[in-house]
Amino acid sequence: MRSLILVLSAFAVVGLGFWAYRENYRTQAELSEVRRLQAEIGEMREALSVLNAEWAYLNRPDRLRELADINFGRLGLLPLEPRQFGTVAAVSYPAVALPPITEPVDTIALNGTPNGTDP
């Protein structure tokens, strides 16, 4: 009986050692994948900042004005001027239709005072 326990304990130790070995290599593989993904994220952020800089460069007002002038015949774009903008007061909003009053409320003061409290 004692030898059976020793053999089972030895198999358990070998099995746990094999499991720990596999988990160690699996963990190393996952850490390497995380490092690869972090490097890829860094590259994509750098590319995004370059694209944002290019977008800002291409949207310069003087460049856009020049393109509008060059393509005026085809597009018919005119330069923006302050007189082209209106004020908020010039915007006509639709009138809100109020429902009719069907049950009026009596507003007589209580106890002879305007707000219903004693003087």
Residue-wise pLDDT tens digits, 63-114? 988 888 888 888 887 777 888 888 888 888 888 888 888 887 777 756 555 5
Beta carbons of 108 and 101 less than 8 angstroms apart: no
Per-domain residue ranges of the chain:
1-72
Residue-wise pLDDT tens digits, 15-59? 999 999 999 999 999 999 999 999 999 999 999 999 999 999 999
Beta strands in the chain (DSSP E): none
Dihedral sign computed on CA atoms, order 88, 89, 94, 99? positive
pLDDT at 29: 96
- For the chain, the first-to-last Cα distance in angstroms comes to 101
pTM exceeds 0.85 for this model: no
Share of the chain residues as helix, strand and coil, in percent rounded to the nearest 5: 65, 0, 35
- Cα–Cα distances in angstroms (integers) from residue 31 to residues 34, 56, 66, 119, in the given order: 5, 37, 52, 80
Q: What is the DSSP string of 51-76?
A: HHHHHHHHT-HHHHHHHHHHTHHHH-
